[in-house]
Amino acid sequence: MTAASFTPDELAAGEALFRRPWHFLKSVPELAGLPGAERPEICFAGRSNVGKSSLINKLVGRTLARTSNTPGRTQELNFYAAPGAALFLVDLPGYGFAEAPKARVAAWTRLMRDYLRGRARLVRAFLLIDVRRGLTPPDLEIMRRLDAAAVSYQGVLTKIDKVKPTQLTRVVAATEAALRRHPAAAAGIFATSAATGAGLAELKAQIAALAAASGAGIT
C-alpha cells in the first residue's frame, strides 16, 4: 500500500502511535502465560529470518526485539506495549527452517499456531514475506490455518531494498493475487524495508487505524 492509500491525518496518527516509548513487556513460552485479554493485539508472523524483529525495531524506533542471522532466534511470543496505548504488539516465533533441536522447533511452532487460532483479542496478523522468496509452502499453510480460524491477516513484503523495482512489481502483483483467494486475507499489501524505512509510514498508519477501530484507547 502507498502513502496515497492513507489520509494525512491517518499517517500522522501512525507516527504519533510509534513515537511513544514502546517497551518489552514479557515473553510467553506457553499459552497459560498470556497477558490478560483487556487490550487488542497486533501480531507479526513469518518464516524464520524473514525480518520480523528488524521490522518491529524500525517501527518503534528502538532496539526491542533481538535480531540474528541464525534462523529460530525468536522462540516465544514476545509482547510489547507503550504507555497511553491500549494495544499490544506481538512478535511470533518464526516457522520453517530453524537451527534448533526438532523438539524445540515443534514446541514453539505449536505455540504460535495455538495463539493464532485461539486469541480472541487478536485483531490483525501481519504475515511477513521475504520479497526474494515470495509465498512459500509454510506461508500457505499458515494462511490456511488463519482462514479456518477466521483471523484477519495482511501481507507485508520485507527486504524490498534487496530487489530491483521490476522484480518488486512482479512479486507485489503475484502476492496480491494469491491473497485474494483467501477469505481471511485483508485487501492490500505493504512493501517494506527495515534498512531504508520504505513502507513503514503506511504500516504504522494501518496499525493505528486498526487500534482505533478495535476500541483501543490512545491518550
The span from the CA of 65 to the CA of 80, in Å, is 9
Domain presence at residue 219: no
Q: Which residue has the cell 499517517?
A: 11
Q: For residue 46, which phi and psi values (nearest 5 degrees)?
A: 170, 170
Give me the pLDDT at residue 112, please: 76
Transcribe 113-125 into DSSP letters.
HHHHHH-TTEEEE
Domain presence at residue 60: yes
Domain presence at residue 179: yes
Q: What nine digits make up the cell of 115?
A: 495463539
The span from the CA of 68 to the CA of 73, in Å, is 6
Domain that residue 60 falls in: 3-213
Is 139 within 8 Å of 111 (Cβ atoms)? no
Domain presence at residue 72: yes
Give me the pLDDT at residue 215, please: 75
At residue 164, the 3 state secondary structure works out as: coil
Domain presence at residue 137: yes
**Number of domains comprising the chain:** 1
Q: Would the pLDDT of 151 be above 80?
A: yes
At residue 117, the 3 state secondary structure works out as: helix
Q: What nine digits make up the cell of 128?
A: 511477513
Strands 190-191 and 153-158: parallel
DSSP single-letter state for residue 185: B
Give me the pLDDT at residue 203, please: 97
Domain presence at residue 208: yes
Domain presence at residue 175: yes
On the CB side of 94, CA atoms within 13 Å amount to 25
Q: Would the pLDDT of 69 be above 80?
A: no
CATH of the domain at 50: 3.40.50.300
What number of other Cβ atoms are within 10 A of residue 202's Cβ?
22
Split at pLDDT 50, 70, 90, the class of 30 is confident
Q: What nine digits make up the cell of 78?
A: 514476545
Give me the pLDDT at residue 156, please: 97
Q: What is the mean pLDDT of residues 24-41?
A: 86
Domain presence at residue 218: no
